[in-house]
Amino acid sequence: MVDIRENESKTLIALRDAGGYSTIDQIVNVSGLVHSAVMRAALFLAPQNLLAVHERKSTKIVLNEEGKRYADEGLPERRIVKALQKTGGKADIEAVFKAASLSENIRVIALGWLSRKGWAVIEKGTKKLKLLKEPVEGSDEKLLALLKENGAAVVEDLSEELRDAVETLKGRKIIDVRVETERELELTATGWDLVKKGVEATAEISQLTPELLVTGKWKETRLRTYNIQAPVAHTWLGKKHPYLRFLDDLKMKLVALGFKEMTGPNVELSFFNCDGLFMPQDHPAREVHDMYFIKEPETGSLEQYQRFLEKVKKTHENGWKTGSKGWGYTFSTLEAARLMLRSQTTAASARTLISKDLEIPGKYFAIARCFRPDVIDKTHLTEFNQVEGIILGEDLTLVDLLGVLEKFAKDVAGADKVKYRPDYFPFTEPSVELVAYKKGCGWMEFGGSGIFRPELTLPLGIKVPVLAWGLGVDRLFMMKAGIDDIRFLFTQDLEWLRRMELI
């Protein structure tokens, strides 16, 4: 019989019973030891040539939220096919979309896959969708069903057909792929000789107790030795959410650059969210599908803003003293008093411009939550954050604004290069859209900017140029962290949260 420590003995016995070869997880299940204890035992036994440790990397795939929805409802192109089959194989496109319950953001994608798979075609003359053949279940659908049933799959264990489907689903961004390392233990010839002779575990202690000291039994007890190079169980210390940390760091950087923080309410008056920004009251963005309006109470008080309200009203109707012709309609003070969830942080800028504490020259910023009834997908949420900034002062130009935007993209988001596109906003002229590129992320749109129009600044009592920008701070973080799905900012995936570096 050979004298050996308890955990090493259990590991060797579990290996013997498994035929001399087993994974760490299997040994954990059989021996009752925790994962770290088995690994420590393996690292103790391996140098003695009693066992060998083998590592095998595997690629594991699981469905993301969008993939799970497709697994339950079917791929968009399959849903269209089913709707077509019910109509005899030919129908109006819009009717098919409606029957298949496809949202607008995936309709073009579905049509693309229908064409690629050769399942259906749009007739040129009638503009109707026609079924070309009876579709059979493809490898992508087979893999989708497999993942739905099993929850996950190892790519290396899949058939060649399903391995090809992995790239398809990965390209459609409906699966998550991660590489895992699996460790396996194997008894060596020396190890086999040992277990054949028999192994006996000697009781060990890891802590001296008062009883052992008083009774003198410590002299007869074997103290456990430790391998300081052996891996231990992960300890996940508490830390701030990576995105919240990013927002805090962004605030600190802006304050260090001399910016002062401006604030405003989440439930905002239309006067600040729209009217004060020279957005006409019949502008399409004021429709219910672009803003959240409050039902109760429907309006707020404009009493303390009367002197500004009258000037804004005249500017909308005829241009007032701004040199503009205005929008040429009858301004409604009732519409200006409507309450809504803030749809843009520019509302905070409008409030700041009429503040008695406003400094000229001055620099101000706000990082605030905004709300819009968008269709939720990889790049849009119904609630999102914007970083808003304004700079007031004499002789400011567009060149100054572009310099600020470039610093944001490169210093805050880690972008490699930026470019600017001409754009349109009711409250800025000229207007510029910021687009930035980072290797591995591609080009990403960040938001709009420009110089506030006189129709905005003069009614609010401002007579100097005002540079302004409103950028999607969520997207700034996505580029910085290498995230391609905005929904991941609010994920409950503890594994990702634990391993995410504090950037």
Query: What is the DSSP secondary-structure string of 363-375?
Result: EEEEEEEEE--PP
The amino acid occupying position 490 is F
Residues 29, 168, single domain; the answer is: no
Residues 397, 486, single domain; the answer is: yes
pLDDT-derived band of residue 201, with 50, 70 and 90 as boundaries?
low
Residues 124, 207, single domain; the answer is: no
In a domain, 274, yes or no: no
Residues 355, 461, single domain; the answer is: yes
Residues 133, 195, single domain; the answer is: no
In a domain, 418, yes or no: yes
| Average pLDDT in the chain | 86
Higher pLDDT, 312 or 41: 312
Sheet holding 175-187, edge to edge: 21-23, 175-187, 51-63, 153-154
Highest-scoring range by mean pLDDT, 201-210, 250-259, 267-276: 267-276
Out of 5-9, 86-90, 225-229, pick the least confident. Answer: 225-229
On the 0-12 / 13-18 / 19+ scale of CB atoms within 10 A, 314 is middle
In a domain, 131, yes or no: yes
Out of 115-129, 199-213, 458-472, pick the least confident. Answer: 199-213
Residues 41, 77, single domain; the answer is: no
In a domain, 230, yes or no: no
What's the CATH number where 141 sits? 1.10.10
Residues 134, 107, single domain; the answer is: yes
pLDDT (0 to 100) of residue 465? 94
Q: The dihedral of CA 200, 205, 210, 214: what is its sign?
A: positive
pLDDT (0 to 100) of residue 493? 76
pLDDT (0 to 100) of residue 440? 74
Query: What's the average model confidence in pLDDT over 117-126?
Result: 84
CA distance 475 to 484: 9
Query: What's the average model confidence in pLDDT over 363-382?
Result: 86
Residues 195, 100, single domain; the answer is: no
DSSP string, 178-203: EEEEEEEEEE-HHHHHHHHH-EEEEP
For residue range 143-185, list pLDDT tens digits in order.
999 999 998 888 888 898 898 889 889 888 899 988 888 888 9
pLDDT-derived band of residue 348, with 50, 70 and 90 as boundaries?
very high
What's the CATH number where 443 sits? 3.30.930.10
On the 0-12 / 13-18 / 19+ scale of CB atoms within 10 A, 316 is buried
Tell me how many degrees the CA angle 21-22-26 measures, rounded to the nearest 5: 160
CA distance 141 to 150: 14
What's the CATH number where 215 sits? 1.10.10.10
Out of 125-139, 304-318, 351-365, pick the least confident. Answer: 125-139
CA distance 218 to 203: 12
Higher pLDDT, 172 or 310: 310
The answer to whether 175 touches 169, Cβ cutoff 8 Å, is: yes
In a domain, 403, yes or no: yes
pLDDT (0 to 100) of residue 136? 87
pLDDT (0 to 100) of residue 203? 65
Helices assigned H by DSSP within 319-457: 333-336, 346-353, 398-407, 454-457
Last residue of a domain, one of 121, 156, 177: 177
Residues 45, 186, single domain; the answer is: yes
CA distance 336 to 331: 9
In a domain, 318, yes or no: no
For residue range 93-104, list pLDDT tens digits in order.
888 888 888 888
Highest-scoring range by mean pLDDT, 186-200, 250-264, 304-318: 304-318
Last residue of a domain, one of 122, 152, 177: 177
2 pLDDT exceeds 60? no
231 pLDDT exceeds 70? no
In a domain, 393, yes or no: yes
Token pair for 376: 């939720």
Domain of 107 in residue numbering reads as 65-177
Residues 362, 418, single domain; the answer is: yes
Tell me how many degrees the CA angle 31-33-35 measures, rounded to the nearest 5: 120
For residue range 422-458, list pLDDT tens digits in order.
988 888 999 999 888 888 778 888 888 999 999 999 9
CA distance 313 to 275: 8
Contacts of 423 (CB under 8 A, 6+ apart): 431, 432, 433, 448, 450
Last residue of a domain, one of 177, 203, 234: 177
pLDDT (0 to 100) of residue 1? 45
Q: How many residues does the chain have?
A: 503
* Alpha-carbon torsion angle 261, 266, 267, 270, nearest 10: 60
Residues 372, 478, single domain; the answer is: yes
Count of structural domains, the chain? 3
In a domain, 317, yes or no: no
Residues 259, 363, single domain; the answer is: yes
For residue range 470-498, list pLDDT tens digits in order.
888 888 788 777 787 888 888 777 777 77
The amino acid occupying position 451 is I
Token pair 């007031």 in the structure block, residue: 392
